[in-house]
A and B are shown apart, each in its own frame.
Chain A
Amino acid sequence: MDLNLLFSFILFTLIGVLIVFSFRVVVVTQWNTKVFKESYLRLQNQLSFEQLKQEQVIQKNAYLENYNKSLLNQLFEITKELLITKKIIFEEHYN
């Protein structure tokens, strides 16, 4: 076989293969970018949702902190009133 012909054949095959690979790389890169964008968007949405959720939970906890204080005061008040009533009952009973 003519060496020149063989050389040309190998050369063109290489060029052809490299062009095909280059094309494949471009397609894969585009596909990866597309997948990444979708995944990134999903994660961002999830993060936004979690942030919103966090904000709500923090608000709730802050609210509950105040409310719990007020609730404890009310319980203290009830306890106090009950103790006073108990004292009055005892006083009435033993007097």
Chain B
Amino acid sequence: MKKLLFLIFVLQLNLNAFSQSPQKIIDSLKIQLLNNPDEVKKAKIYGDLTWYYCTVSTDSALVYGKKAMSMAKKMNDSVFLAQTLNDYATVYYLKGDLNQSENLLRKSLKIRNKLQDSSGIAAVNSKLGNIFYRKTLLDSSMIYFLKSLKFYESSGNEVVANSLKSNIANIYMALKNYTKSQQYLNDNIAFFKKNNQFEYLSNSYVSMASLYLFKTDTANAITYLHKGIKEAEKADAFPTLGSAYNNLGTIYNDKKEYKLAREYIQKSIEIREKTNLGTELASSKLSLAGVYNNLGEFSKAKSILLESLKIFKDEAMVEKSLQVYLQLIPVYASESKPDSVAYYTNLYVKNQDLVLQEKALKLSSELETKYQTEKKEKEILLQQTEISQKESDLNRKNYQIISLIILAIVLSLFGYLLYNQQKLKHKQLKKENELKEALAKIETQNKLQEQRLHISRDLHDNIGAQLTFIISSVDNLKYGFKLSDNLNEKLKSISDFASSTIYELRDTIWAMNKNEITFEDLQSRISNFIEKANKSAHAIVFSFNVDEDMGKHKMFTSVQGMNIYRIIQEAINNSIKYAKATKIDVDFTFENAIYIMTISDNGTGFNYKEVELGNGLNNMKKRAHELDAEFEIKSEINKGTTVRVFKSI
């Protein structure tokens, strides 16, 4: 039964290889090699040849695998090296050297772990599962299959996932958990049927047949083998077909239906001859020899057995060789050759002992390996714990160093900010003090100036009072005593002059008591003056006009206001005194952003070029200058005089 399982298992591993006509691919790859491709392409061709030769000639596969591996190392291409190791491991697996295959797969796994190649890791895990199965380390095999299954299920590759489930079903079968195995296989059959995966379906049917054989239900086993054959034929899955026919033949042989058994085994041989797998062909031939022996056709059996023995010896398949020895005993017995019978009997017994010893050794070695592995795993675990502890310490230290750097940065920032704050504060204080000093200086100066102003005011008050006294005394003198007309005239003139001085003084006091004079104030003052002038000169018609565009809220400084007032006063006095005018106009206008003040009369006028300017006119000009304004005087004889003061904004 185990033989049967082995055959099924080989099939699962080589499915893809057989479905691609390997010989044709090999031929085309060899043609490509003749065209002298570059190193990278050459390495890839060697890799492909290794894989495709697996099913044709394992020796050739090993030669190309070696070449591919050496080129992969030379190119330092980790991905390619991992793939080559994987292919090389498959060749050793097929050759039956499971330890070498396992070593190579572990190397490949290490590289793929470094590369974090999940799909590659899953493929290696699957192959390791196969190796452990072959080694009958079923628990390890299950672990690797489950790891691989996890990846394929998460990546959504349901076909490969289900093929892995078939292998898991085989493990359950070997563990005699037939219910679980059947459950897996039923699921597989349903999935492959649904997805028309005939090759996988045929494998599952053959596995199911094996399960029934385990359960000694040959009827069902035969049914499933037939189903497997039907599906394998659809997919040209020759390895499965070969196995199925061989198994069918073996069952019929056990059932002593030798003709049917021979027929199926011969079909198996025909198919296996196509696939070039020598050992499997030899197995089928061994089965055929068994049938011939049962049919009593010993001569036919003998030639087949000797031929198979050579192959089994070449491939160092001791168990198969033992079966051959066992089959050769009745053959030589039929030929009445007791020596040969004794020889093969001895050989069988001796080799069986050897096999048993080998098995025991293998088992003890496996147990030792397992013990050592566990020990090493424990050590690794301990080392890993230490490493993780050290890593954690290192991380904490790094963390603290980074924190210290951050602290230093924050401290520097804080220092800089503090320094900056103090610097700014100092600068601000300095500026503020400078301003305060300037302010104090100017305030002191202002106080001094105001004191001078105050003294002037006091002086004016005194003078005003004295002038009033003089006027009053003069008036008393005039009316208290009988004086000559001449004296009266003189006194009147003194009184008038004193009065005009007082008015002038009052005007000045009015202006000096104000910081600013509004245009309205000035306008009212000028009106008062004109009114007074009109009283002293009834014959003259005065007019005072202010343009509406003049800003009524325009402000003048007291000196400016005084200067304007004085200019008007001087001009009007001149007109009254010298021009014999009958009309005097005072106008304030605002045109084209220019303030214009005009005082005009219709008096006698004068020739401006011939007349030398007196104090009055010069004063007016000077005052206009102080106002930053232009002064203009126009006069023609008998056409009056016009005085204009204008200032642009």
Which A residues fall within an 8 A CB radius of B? 4, 7-8, 11-12, 14-15, 18-19, 21-22, 25-26, 28-29, 32-33, 36, 39-40, 43-44, 46-47, 50-51, 53-54, 56-64, 67-68, 71, 74-75, 77-78, 81-82, 84-85, 88-89, 92
Contacts and interface: CB of A to CB of B under 8 A. Distances in A.
B526 interface: no
A53 to B, nearest CB: 6
Interface centre among A33, A63, A77 (most CB of B within 10 A): A63
Contact of B557 (A46, A59, A77): A59
A63 B486 CA distance: 38
A60 B451 CA distance: 12
Contacts of B508: 64, 67
B544 interface: no
What's the dominant secondary structure at chain B's contact region?
A: helix
A40 B435 contact: yes
A91 to B, nearest CB: 10
A2 B501 CA distance: 103
A92 B453 CA distance: 45
A11 B424 contact: no
Nearest to B491: A85
B349 interface: no
Residues of B in contact with A, size category: 35 or more
A40 B438 CA distance: 13
Contacts of A85: 487, 490-491, 494
A19 B413 CA distance: 9
Given A22-B414, A54-B445, A85-B494, 9 more contacts: A8-B400, A15-B403, A18-B414, A43-B435, A50-B443, A57-B446, A61-B456, A75-B501, A78-B470
B558 interface: yes
A32 to B, nearest CB: 6
A68 B456 CA distance: 8
Contact of A25 (B414, B459, B486): B414
B371 interface: no
Given A40-B432, A67-B508, A61 B421 contact: no
A48 to B, nearest CB: 10
Given A75-B463, A78-B501, A60 B453 contact: yes
A6 to B, nearest CB: 12
| A interface, over-half SS | helix
22 contacts: A4-B400, A15-B410, A22-B413, A22-B414, A25-B418, A25-B421, A29-B417, A39-B432, A43-B432, A54-B442, A57-B450, A60-B512, A60-B559, A64-B452, A64-B508, A74-B504, A75-B501, A81-B493, A81-B497, A82-B474, A88-B486, A88-B490
Interface string B377-399: 00000000000000000001001
Contacts of A82: 470, 474, 494
A35 to B, nearest CB: 9
B34 to A, nearest CB: 69
Contact of A47 (B431, B438, B450, B490): B438
Would you list the 10 A-B pairs with minimal beta carbon distance, nearest first?
A57-B449, A36-B428, A59-B559, A25-B417, A29-B421, A18-B410, A50-B442, A43-B435, A22-B414, A64-B456
B162 to A, nearest CB: 53
Nearest to A47: B439
A11 B407 contact: yes
Contact of B436 (A43, A61, A67): A43
B494 A58 contact: no
Contacts of A53: 446, 515
A73 B634 CA distance: 31
A63 B403 CA distance: 76
B36 interface: no
Contacts of A71: 460, 463, 501, 504-505
B404 interface: yes
B408 to A, nearest CB: 10
Interface string B463-506: 10001001000100000000110110011011001100100110
A88 B436 CA distance: 64
A54 B407 contact: no
A43 B501 CA distance: 43
Contact of A18 (B411, B425, B474, B515): B411
B449 A92 contact: no
B432 A89 contact: no
B407 A15 contact: yes
A57 B413 CA distance: 53
* Residue picked from A26, A32, A67, A88, most chain B C-beta under 10 Å: A67
Contacts of B501: 71, 74-75, 78
Nearest to B447: A57
A77 B504 CA distance: 15
B417 A26 contact: yes
B594 interface: no
Contact of A8 (B403, B445, B449, B505): B403
A50 B446 CA distance: 8
B562 interface: yes
Nearest to B421: A29
A88 B483 CA distance: 11
